[in-house]
Amino acid sequence: MTEYDLDATDREILYALQKEARNLSSSEMAERTDASSSTVRKRIQRLEAEGIIKGYSADIDYTKSGYPIRMLLFCTAPIPDRGDYIEEILAIPAVISVQELVTGEENLLVTAVGETDRDITPVAQELADIGLTITDEVLVRSHESTSFDELSGE
């Protein structure tokens, strides 16, 4: 994979996709970027091929969907191996994300959701079974995110 330099059009496309991917057509993105629809479609294909756009997913409110418990599990793995655990962690039921941390004792942050705290206990056990040490657990009340403003040309 080569390093790809984003230009203003690429950044505008990424920003638009972050904000409202489901509701925007390539024609609407073309209007925003002063490019043609075919250019926008080609740019999106190239951004996907370069791995800049990794996929498309729904932003789910887990609480409203019946899974009100969100737990952050800070884990420690051997530093040279921490990235090797990611796929195995993501395969654990109830795990929704893994972040590789590069500073501090904890070097993996695992997020899991469940209906009750009892749903998280098996996740913690599976993490221990694959050789991770859980150093801290944090119960999250709410989680919100936004688009990265630096991608916007405004």
Per-residue pLDDT at 1 exceeds 70 = no
Q: How far apart are CA 24 and CA 147, in angstroms?
A: 15
pLDDT (tens digit per residue) in 5-58: 888 888 888 888 877 777 788 888 888 888 899 999 999 999 999 999 988 877
| pTM of the model as a whole | 0.76
Instruction: Name the CATH code of domain 8-57 (choices 1.20.1740.10, 1.10.10.10, 3.40.50.2300, 1.10.3720.10).
Output: 1.10.10.10
Distances from the Cα of 43 to the Cα of 9, 31, 151, angstroms: 8, 14, 15
Per domain, the residue ranges of the chain are 8-57, 69-140
Q: How far apart are CA 124 and CA 10, in angstroms?
A: 40
CB-count burial class (<10 Å; 0-12, 13-18, 19+) for 33: buried
CATH code of 69-140, in short, is 3.30.70.920
Listed residue (51, 49, 56, 50) closest to 16, CA to CA: 56
Matching fold, domains 8-57 and 69-140: no
Per-residue pLDDT at 144 exceeds 70 = yes
pLDDT (tens digit per residue) in 73-88: 999 999 889 999 999 9
Per-residue pLDDT at 99 exceeds 80 = yes
Per-residue pLDDT at 153 exceeds 70 = no
